Copies of this chain bind each other. A is one copy, B any other.
């Protein structure tokens, strides 16, 4: 019976050129390898090596066998990897979101409902989110708008309203409301990992220089110590509190408001119904729309 370990040994010999070298690489004794290859030749009924008393090397049939063996081994490795990846995907909930705020509510909910599952989340633009939902890369996604499509189940569950966070010294800090264009041109502090908001910010404030901070603590530090404008929202303030020594001024553009929608494949609605029920309890009034 042909076995994989024989093929691995064969390819090792092809790489090392010598039995003893391959044996060492395989953590095996030379005699064991010698006998193993003799047995391989028996099962194939083909001589794979030119043997002289003192040296051995692959003949042409052996070279062919090595090439074929590599393919078989590669395929076996692929099998292991694919099965493991599939298994992992079965054990993890993958969430795609256009922005971080919805995840702050959703991830605790998911981990509570599926305590044995791992949770992975990604921030992407709506378009890659949708294609990921189609391919099954995500169990569900969060978009900043509704999507009417019979293939998907979609409902709104949370609203985010953006504000400028300004120091008292800022000339516009007394405003009741501001538009993006009012601040456009000033340098603005931003956190990375804010999803589609970064695109909104760049589009609405094309003249502004964005000082993007990767580290959350660095960002907080800069907000406190600088006079630069930054952004907060109703949701960020719910989770992190109102920034100290700052004035919070609503942004009046319609783009400063996002209505987050939960989307899953229609075929998965039933399986996800426990989660969907819990998500709807977060904001009963929105869900009734």
Show the binding face of A for B, using Cβ within 8 Å: 1-5, 44-48, 60-61, 64-65, 68-69, 71-72, 75-76, 78-80, 82-84, 86-87, 90
From known contacts A1-B4, A3-B3, A4-B3, infer whether A79 and B72 are also in contact, taking CB-CB under 8 Å: yes
Contacts of A4 in B (CB 8 A): 1-4
**A75 → chain B closest CB, angstroms:** 5
List 7 interface pairs A-B (beta carbons < 8 Å), by A numbering.
A2-B76, A45-B84, A65-B79, A65-B83, A68-B79, A71-B75, A75-B75
From known contacts A1-B5, A4-B3, infer whether A61 and B87 are also in contact, taking CB-CB under 8 Å: yes
A122 to B229, CA, bound (A): 88
A48 to B3, CA, bound (A): 22
Q: Is the CB of B3 within 8 A of A84?
A: no
Nearest chain B residue, comparing its CB with the CB of A44: B83
**A14 → chain B closest CB, angstroms:** 14
From known contacts A1-B5, A4-B4, infer whether A83 and B64 are also in contact, taking CB-CB under 8 Å: yes
Contacts of A68 in B (CB 8 A): 75, 78-79, 82-83
Contacts of A64 in B (CB 8 A): 82-83, 86
Q: What is the copy number of this chain in the assembly?
A: 2
**A234 → chain B closest CB, angstroms:** 41
A11 to B86, CA, bound (A): 18
A178 to B83, CA, bound (A): 77
Contacts of A86 in B (CB 8 A): 60-61, 64
A72 to B79, CA, bound (A): 8
A44 to B3, CA, bound (A): 17
A5 to B2, CA, bound (A): 8
Nearest chain B residue, comparing its CB with the CB of A1: B5
Contacts of A83 in B (CB 8 A): 44, 46, 48, 61, 64-65, 68
Contacts of A75 in B (CB 8 A): 68, 71-72, 75
A64 to B89, CA, bound (A): 13
A23 to B200, CA, bound (A): 63
Q: Give the contacting residue for A72; candidates B45, B69, B72, B84; CB below 8 A.
A: B72
Q: A2-B4, A2-B76, A75-B75 are in contact. List 12 more A-B contacts (CB 8 A).
A: A2-B79, A2-B80, A4-B4, A45-B87, A46-B83, A46-B84, A61-B87, A64-B86, A65-B79, A68-B83, A71-B75, A72-B75
A193 to B264, CA, bound (A): 69
Q: Give the contacting residue for A71; candidates B44, B60, B61, B79; CB below 8 A.
A: B79
Q: Give the contacting residue for A44; candidates B2, B80, B90; CB below 8 A.
A: B80
Contacts of A48 in B (CB 8 A): 83
